[in-house]
Amino acid sequence: MDEQVNTSLEYRLYDRTSSYKPLFHYEEIDLHQVLARRECDFYVKEGTVYKQTSSAIEGDWHVIYVEKHEEGEKEKEEFNLNNTLKLEMRRFNKRENYPLLQTLEFEHHIDILSRIGSVYHYINGQEWEKDSAEIDEDRRVYVLYLMETGYKMEGINT
């Protein structure tokens, strides 16, 4: 694997009236993690769901602009014995509380990025289309929301 490249990341509240208030800072963060986070439509932190509006690079800083989408209770952190990066693949269905289809674990953020950056996914031969992706810092997991396309492909399982 290539040598890790570190950079800085800041989440800012997208609000022209408040001069884009800084929300959260990350110093010395892996560039691959920044790119994976930038691919996420939603960001969950301290019970609040933020929706990404845009992103930028300002000098040495990567910036992700967000707006508050909804507020709730902070969920309990997932215990991860293997210390790996988790990706939950969920059916996009709010009424059913987004049922879990599959959980994958990876060693590197570039692997997460390759999954959440793809539009189509196959689970047990069934094709699924990406609706959105999020990083849930409260639970320490990435989530990919998928919609069933109705297409089945024989011989593809993951």
Instruction: Tell me if 127 sits within 8 A of 152, measured CB to CB.
Output: yes
Q: What is the per-residue pLDDT across 79-111, written as a single tens digit (0 to 9) for each? A: 666 779 999 999 999 999 999 999 999 999 999
11 and 62 inside one domain: yes
Q: What is the per-residue pLDDT across 137-146, written as a single tens digit (0 to 9) for each? A: 999 999 999 9
Q: Indicate whether 100 belongs to any domain.
A: yes
Q: Indicate whether 77 belongs to any domain.
A: no
17 and 47 inside one domain: yes
Count CB atoms within 10 A of the CB of residue 72. Answer: 10
65 and 90 inside one domain: no
Q: Indicate whether 79 belongs to any domain.
A: no
106 and 134 inside one domain: yes
Instruction: Tell me if 30 sits within 8 A of 4, measured CB to CB.
Output: yes
Which tokens go with 59? 């000098």
φ, ψ of residue 49 in degrees (nearest 5): -100, 125
Q: What is the per-residue pLDDT across 48-87, written as a single tens digit (0 to 9) for each? A: 999 999 999 999 899 999 999 998 877 676 666 677 999 9
Q: Indicate whether 80 belongs to any domain.
A: no
Q: State residue 16's pLDDT score.
A: 74
Tell which of 21, 42, 71 closes a domain.
71
Q: Indicate whether 158 belongs to any domain.
A: no
Best CA proximity match to 44, nearest among 145, 146, 139, 144: 139
Question: Amino acid identity of 140?
Answer: R
Q: Which residues pair with 107 in a beta bridge?
A: none
93 and 64 inside one domain: no
Q: Indicate whether 1 belongs to any domain.
A: no
For residue 137, the enclosing domain spans: 85-152
Read off the pTM: 0.89
Query: Where does residue 140 fall: left (phi above 0), alpha (psi -120 to 50 degrees), or beta otherwise?
Result: left
Instruction: Tell me if 142 sits within 8 A of 104, measured CB to CB.
Output: no
Q: Indicate whether 50 belongs to any domain.
A: yes
